[in-house]
Structure formats: structure tokens, C-alpha cells
Amino acid sequence: MNTDQQKIPQATAKRLPLYYRFLESLYATGKTRVSSTELSEAVKVDSATIRRDFSYFGALGKKGYGYNVQYLLSFFRTTLDQDEATDVVLLGVGNLGKALLRYNFSKNENTRIVAAFDINKDMVGEQIGNVPVYHTDDLAEKLEEHNVSVAMLTVPSAAAQTTGEKLVEAGISGILNFTPARLSVPTSVRVHHIDLAIELQTLVYFLKNYPLDSE
Ligand code: ATP
């Protein structure tokens, strides 16, 4: 991200890709404006939050008119650096790694996985979802070729720390960690953690303990 994003709270910044994706599909259908209620239903964020979020972008919706889709899109493109494609690598081509390679974020063509790495020699040389798999030993060399700053980590937990260190050494500054292990990395490296098992458990817990009111 760039420009004035210092002024945008982190919670708002996290919702930007969500808004962006929805607005892009709206634009593709030829819609020129959207109300906060419509947006709210589509992205499942309440409309007061959307209005507050958008006020940070200087996008003030007009009553009875809504927001200008094109204005919002161009704002998000600049803020999210969507005009510039971001290349990502993936480490650990197991079940989860393969699924992510096949998914390859095709809904957002500005982020793409350009290379995958594994220690398993049987995997090396394969192409999964059009992404070539290399040996982890070639990490530094391949990263130079691609100018990558973000990596996804889908190795076994026991290998997470050493792999994370290798990534940092190779100049990676952002890691999306899918392993349950907590990584210890320099403060200049941003780690976002996605533990699918915990997410699922939390949802089950909330369903049991905080049932939503049915309307
Ligand atoms: P999952 O379903 O969690 O993706 P899996 O059961 O298919 O995993 P794991 O044992 O979790 O397999 O390993 C994931 C992948 O990570 C495997 O392909 C394995 O060869 C690879 N791997 C293991 N250690 C390393 C490492 N140090 N560096 C890179 N890849 C590794």
C-alpha cells in the first residue's frame, strides 16, 4: 500500500481488498454507483462501518445516490498498489500448499504466486496450477529473479521457524504463515497468521456460546 494510508486505521485497511473485489465485479457489470446498504449485504460488513471506512478515503456517499464505483476503484487501486502486480512465493507443496497453488488468487490478478519451493525431490520440477516447483536450496536465486517480497508458508510446523529464517535471509518482508507455529523474526518483517483449525474451532465455539438472534 502507499500514499496516505498512514491515516487509515489498520482495521479499515484490512477491509480494503474485500471492498475492492466486490466493486470490481460491480464495475464489470456496468454499475456506476452503489449504496452502503448494497455493499454491506455483499461484503457482510455493517453499513455504519462501511460509511466510516469510506470517509477516510474522502468518499462521501450522497443520500439517495450512494458511492461512485469508478472513484472508489481508482482510489483502492492506488492505495492497494493494484496497478502494480505483486509476486508471491509459496513454501511447502503439501496438501494445503497445492490447494493454494491451484487457487492462485485468480479473482485478484494483481497478486500471483510465481514460484513454489519444497525439499521433496519428487515435487521439484513439477508445475502445479501453472506454478513451477523448485528446491528450497534455490530460494535465494529464484527470489532475485522475481523481485518477490511476500511468501506463504505451508510447511509442517516443525519446519516453520527455519524456513521463516531462510525467507528473511533471502529478503522477504511479509510472511503469510499457515502453520500453527509462531515465528520469531526481526521486527522489520511482518507476519500474518492464518490457522485454519483455530478459525474453525472459534466459529464452533461462537455458535455454541453466542448464538445469533434469528430475525
Ligand atoms: P498439509 O496438508 O499441512 O499441507 P501435508 O500433510 O501434505 O501437509 P506436510 O508434512 O505438512 O504435508 O508437509 C507439507 C509440505 O512441506 C511437504 O510437501 C513437505 O515436503 C514440505 N516441507 C517439509 N519441510 C520443508 C522445508 N524445510 N522446506 C520446504 N518444504 C518443506
Question: What interface predicted TM-score (ipTM) does this complex get?
Answer: 0.93
Instruction: Indicate the fold that domain 3-79 takes in CATH.
Output: Arc Repressor Mutant, subunit A (1.10.10)
> What's residue 13's pLDDT?
82
Please indicate if the annotation marks 95 as binding a ligand.
yes
Concatenated DSSP letters of 41-83:
HHHT--HHHHHHHHHHTT--PBTTTBEEHHHHHHHHHHHTTTT
> What's residue 74's pLDDT?
85
Name the residue at shortest CA distance from atom 23 of ligand 1: 155
Name the residue at shortest CA distance from atom 18 of ligand 1: 94
Q: Is the dihedral of CA 202, 208, 210, 212 positive or negative?
A: positive
> What's residue 11's pLDDT?
85
Decide if 117 contacts 138 (C-beta within 8 A): yes
What does the buried/exposed string (b/e) look like for 184-213 if buried means 16 or more CB atoms within 10 Å of the residue's CB? ebeeeeeeeeeeeeeeeeeeeeeeeeeeee
- Give CA angle at 165 (160, 168), nearest 5°: 125
Decide if 43 contacts 19 (C-beta within 8 A): yes
**Exposed / middle / buried, residue 7 (Cβ in 10 Å: 0-12, 13-18, 19+):** exposed
- CATH 1.10.10.10 occupies which residues in the chain? 3-79
> What's residue 1's pLDDT?
47
Please indicate if the annotation marks 92 as binding a ligand.
yes
40, 174, 124, 147: CA torsion to nearest 10 = 100
- CATH 3.40.50.720 occupies which residues in the chain? 86-198
Please indicate if the annotation marks 143 as binding a ligand.
no
- CA–centroid distance, 193 to ligand 1, in Å, is 17
Name the residue at shortest CA distance from atom 9 of ligand 1: 156
Residues with a CB atom less than 6 Å from ligand 1: 91-97, 117-120, 136, 154-156, 159, 163
- CA–centroid distance, 2 to ligand 1, in Å, is 34
Per-residue pLDDT of the chain (215 residues; tens, 9 = 90+): 444 445 778 888 888 888 988 998 888 888 888 988 888 998 899 988 988 888 887 766 666 778 888 888 888 887 776 666 788 999 999 999 999 999 877 656 678 899 999 999 999 999 999 999 999 999 999 988 888 989 999 999 999 999 999 999 999 999 999 999 999 999 999 999 999 888 889 889 888 888 877 65
Domain 86-198 annotated CATH 1.10.357.10: no
